[in-house]
Amino acid sequence: MKKLTYWQENLRLVGLCLCIWFLVSFGFGILLVEPLNAISFGGFKLGFWFAQQGSIYVFLILIFFYAWRMNAIDKKHDVDEN
Amino acid sequence: MDLQTLTYVVVGTSFVIYIAIAFWSKAKSTGEFYVAGKHVHPVANGMATAADWMSAASFISMAGLIAFLGYDGSVYLMGWTGGYVLLALLLAPYLRKFGKFTVPEFIGDRYYSQTARVVAVICLIVISFTYVAGQMRGVGIVFSRFLNVEIEYGLVIGMAIVFVYAVLGGMKGITYTQVAQYCVLIFAYTVPAVFISIQVTGQPVPQVGFGSEVLDGGVYLLHKLDQIVTDLGFPAYTEGTKSTIDVFFITFALMVGTAGLPHVLVRFFTVPRVRDARISAGWALLFIAILYTIAPSVGALARLNLTETIQLGPVGMTESNLMYEDRPEWFKTWERTGLLTFDDKNSDGRIQYYDDTNIAFVAEAEKIGWKGNELTVDRDIIVLANPEIAKLPDWVVALVAAGGIAAALSTAAGLLLVISASVSHDLAKSVFARNISDKTELTLGRVSAGIAILLAGYLGYNPPGFVAQVVALAFGLAAASLFPVILLGIFSVRVNDRGAIAGMLSGLLFTVGYIVYFKGVFIEPFAENVAENWLFGISPEGIGTVGMILNFSVALVVSYMTPRPPDHVRDLVENIRVPR
């Protein structure tokens, strides 16, 4: 397998994160909200929960995950600061 | 101590803290004035960003908006948080690596064009002024409600405070006052929410209470809410009434608009390293998410409280409707402000609160002697009245006043600073008077911040009739003008000056045109603002997404038809893509 450059690795990670970003908000919270609302999640309908709570939690995890992975990628390609 | 005095003490103390911080962190150079010397710790920057971002609208209006919109209110929740993912992944680290002072400066350098820079400044000023007018208005409302001073005095006091710390401290002063303001506003928001959640569901964490059973009756909060609002003819709380395509486009425009707002972007210029910019966006979203996940719980709890206060039992029984004479104290307080009004249409001395736009239900209601909805509730009072509705002690009410003012002031200051920086740095220093010294530029920055404050105060006092409309305009504009060219500037080496200018102008003009067409800013609308008339069923609030797509397309097509950017631009792009 060809070795990916720093920028390619970054783009791949960004792509992955944005897929999840799209899935939880536009996917679960908007486009699929009706089928998901048939599922109960505690006192919530699942689609409604994603739209008003869940998507925000996932966004938060995504940013910290990206920052953590990028620090590792920076190091691997020896472009990290200090 | 009575509530009035207590409020003065709490709000006064918060002002003293802000001013003290401003003196302690006075800006001594342009670097400190524009970007706080790039020494801000990522966590501190996260807090400052949160305060910068969460305006009077987030603090005062959002929970109320959701309370009355139900599921449709999700567009604000997802839209105003999801933008941070775009910011952290696509923009912030690279802009930090670029390492200069302003957003138009990046656009000017990347597209090697003064014209592009000036177009970016125009976008920035339009976006920021529409925003700031709303903030000053928010300050005025809080002052007049809680401190019993006229709106104009409230405005003058607010302007004076911002003047001191923005003009003196610049970005450095603003950063640390915003940290303090974040603490005030989040505490003020959380405390009443926790108490109300405990009262209704027994759960101290509002996000958990939101999905719990209510104490009386053992049904889930949201099930009960759906039940009682549909009994009164309203749409079910957990289901939407907007079309899916419109919800999709509005959410997208708000997300992209958030990522393209200059006063938010510039906060990521202030941290020491690229890796700090990435993590700082995470901290910012964490601090924002605390409020944004509580807001929908507050909305649902408040809607339930309000409806149950008026409708005491099953619909149709006379005794089920509250006697106007028996209305609670908070009801009277808010009636005095005119934000809550009762009109006894069927003269029975009781309050009927239902959806009289629902034709099927109106027929039912007429049979039981109801002659129209009698209660009008301004959505802005939900958060402000919450502590009173929940019968919380006076100090909580005072705290909410201080929190609302903190939210408005912190956002206003951030906006005023990007306006002044773009005037003194992007226009004066680089276009009109290139040879001015650092010291003159600093003075110029202070003077333009001062002028911007006066102008903002004027707009707050004489709000153009379309403040609500222009807020939508601000997001749409940011999405359609700045975001695409910044993104392309980082992720493409091919996009050139002509592509960027054509892209920005087409996105901007299309979006402004569409909004003016339906909402009529300064002039009468050309067409009625209803779904049948909209392009693809997209409302003016969501049209920024289409403007963004147009901007991207035009920028790419024009760029590929015209010569490549020069070599030094390729080097610049390659340089900002790596942290070191």
What ipTM, to 2 d.p.? 0.96
Closest Cβ opposite residue A25 in set B82, B88, B244: B82
A-chain residues near B580 (CB < 8 A)? 74, 79-81
Closest Cβ opposite residue B282 in set A48, A52, A60: A60
Work out the number of other CB atoms within 10 angstroms of the CB of residue B150: 12
Q: How many alpha carbons lie under 13 Å from residue A50 in its C-beta half-sphere? A: 22
Closest Cβ opposite residue A59 in set B81, B211, B579: B81
Query: By the CB < 8 Å criterion, does A48 face chain B?
Result: yes
- Neighbouring-strand partners of residue B377: B340
Radius of gyration over every alpha carbon of chain B, rounded to an integer in angstroms: 25
Distance, CA of B120 to CA of A29 (rounded, Å): 33
Give burial (CB, 10 Å; 0-12/13-18/19+) of A3: exposed
Give burial (CB, 10 Å; 0-12/13-18/19+) of B185: buried
Give burial (CB, 10 Å; 0-12/13-18/19+) of B509: middle
Q: Which of B71, B78, B280 to mutate to test the interface with A (most CBs of A within 10 A)?
A: B78
- C-beta atoms of B285 and A63 within 8 A: yes
Helix ranges (DSSP H) in B318-437? 329-337, 359-367, 381-389, 394-421
A-chain residues near B207 (CB < 8 A)? 53
Q: What are phi and psi of B69, to 5 degrees?
A: -100, -25
Tell me which residue of B384, B389, B367 sits closest to B304, measured CA to CA.
Answer: B389
- C-beta atoms of A67 and B220 within 8 A: no
- C-beta atoms of A43 and B210 within 8 A: yes
Q: List the pLDDT tens digit at each of the 580 positions of chain B.
A: 788 888 889 988 998 898 888 888 877 888 888 888 888 999 999 999 999 999 887 888 888 889 999 999 999 999 999 999 999 999 999 999 998 888 999 999 999 999 999 999 988 988 888 788 777 777 777 777 777 777 778 788 888 888 887 787 788 888 999 999 999 999 999 999 999 999 889 999 999 989 888 888 789 988 899 989 988 889 999 988 888 898 999 999 999 999 999 999 999 999 999 999 999 999 999 999 999 999 999 999 989 988 888 888 888 788 888 888 888 888 888 888 777 889 888 888 889 999 888 888 888 888 888 888 899 888 878 888 888 877 888 888 888 888 988 888 888 888 888 888 888 888 877 777 777 787 888 888 888 888 888 888 887 777 655 555 566 678 888 999 999 999 999 999 999 999 999 999 999 999 988 888 887 666 677 777 777 777 887 888 889 999 999 999 999 999 999 999 999 999 999 999 999 8
Closest Cβ opposite residue B282 in set A14, A57, A63: A63
Query: By the CB < 8 Å criterion, does A73 face chain B?
Result: no
What's the average model confidence in pLDDT over A13-17?
97
Closest Cβ opposite residue B282 in set A7, A53, A67: A67
Which DSSP string corresponds to B489-500?
HHH-SS--HHHH
Distance, CA of B273 to CA of B181 (rounded, Å): 25
Distance, CA of B497 to CA of B378 (rounded, Å): 47
The chain A residue lying nearest B236, using CA atoms, is A48
Q: Which of A40, A48, A63 to mutate to test the interface with B (most CBs of B within 10 A)?
A: A63
Distance, CA of B350 to CA of B369 (rounded, Å): 11
Q: Tell me, what's the pLDDT at A66?
A: 96
Whether B225 contacts B447, CB under 8 Å: no
Whether B174 contacts B166, CB under 8 Å: yes
Q: Which of B38, B66, B74 to mutate to test the interface with A (most CBs of A within 10 A)?
A: B74
The angle formed by the CA atoms of residues B543, B84 and B470, to the nearest 5 degrees, is 35
Q: Is the pTM of this model over 0.90?
A: yes
| Residue type (1 letter), B149 | V
B-facing residues of A in 22-41 (CB < 8 A) are 25-26, 29-31, 33, 37, 41
The chain B residue lying nearest A78, using CA atoms, is B580
Give burial (CB, 10 Å; 0-12/13-18/19+) of A55: buried
Distance, CA of A22 to CA of B85 (rounded, Å): 10
The residue count for chain B: 580
Radius of gyration over every alpha carbon of chain A, rounded to an integer in angstroms: 17
Whether B171 contacts B34, CB under 8 Å: yes
The angle formed by the CA atoms of residues B515, B521 and B527, to the nearest 5 degrees, is 55
Name the strand (E) or helix (H) holding B342: strand B340-342
- Provide the residue ranges of all domains of chain B, joining segments of one domain with +: 3-304+387-429+440-577, 305-386
Distance, CA of B398 to CA of B297 (rounded, Å): 22
Closest Cβ opposite residue B77 in set A37, A45, A52: A52
Work out the number of other CB atoms within 10 angstroms of the CB of residue B1: 11
The chain B residue lying nearest A82, using CA atoms, is B580
Distance, CA of A31 to CA of B456 (rounded, Å): 40
Tell me which residue of A44, A62, A52, A23 sits closest to B79, measured CA to CA.
Answer: A52
Q: Tell me, what's the pLDDT at B335?
A: 84
- C-beta atoms of A43 and B273 within 8 A: no
Q: Tell me, what's the pLDDT at B561?
A: 95
A-chain residues near B296 (CB < 8 A)? 52-53
Which DSSP string corresponds to A35-51?
HHHTSEETTEEHHHHII
- Provide the residue ranges of all domains of chain A, joining segments of one domain with +: 8-76
For chains A and B, count residue pairs whose Cβ atoms are closer than 8 Å: 133
State the smallest CA–CA distance between residue A2 and chain B in angstroms: 21
Q: Tell me, what's the pLDDT at B467?
A: 52
A-chain residues near B579 (CB < 8 A)? 74, 79-81
| Residue type (1 letter), A15 | G
Closest Cβ opposite residue A26 in set B86, B93, B251: B251
- C-beta atoms of A74 and B221 within 8 A: no
Whether B75 contacts B254, CB under 8 Å: yes
Q: Which of A8, A19, A30, A31 to mutate to test the interface with B (most CBs of B within 10 A)?
A: A30
Distance, CA of A73 to CA of A67 (rounded, Å): 10
Whether B497 contacts B176, CB under 8 Å: no
Closest Cβ opposite residue A74 in set B66, B207, B579: B579
Contacts of B334 (CB under 8 A, 6+ apart): B340, B381, B385
* Dihedral sign computed on CA atoms, order B286, B291, B292, B294: positive
- C-beta atoms of A66 and B88 within 8 A: yes
- C-beta atoms of B275 and A80 within 8 A: yes
- Per CATH, is B3-304+387-429+440-577 categorized as 3.40.50.450? no
- C-beta atoms of A43 and B221 within 8 A: yes
What is the token pair recorded at B544?
A: 């920024």
Contacts of B552 (CB under 8 A, 6+ apart): B484, B488, B503
Query: By the CB < 8 Å criterion, does A15 face chain B?
Result: no
What is the token pair recorded at B121?
A: 């400044």
- C-beta atoms of B89 and A63 within 8 A: yes
B-chain residues near A64 (CB < 8 A)? 279, 282
Q: Inter-axis angle of helices B394-421 and B42-53, to 10 degrees?
A: 100
Q: Tell me, what's the pLDDT at B547?
A: 95
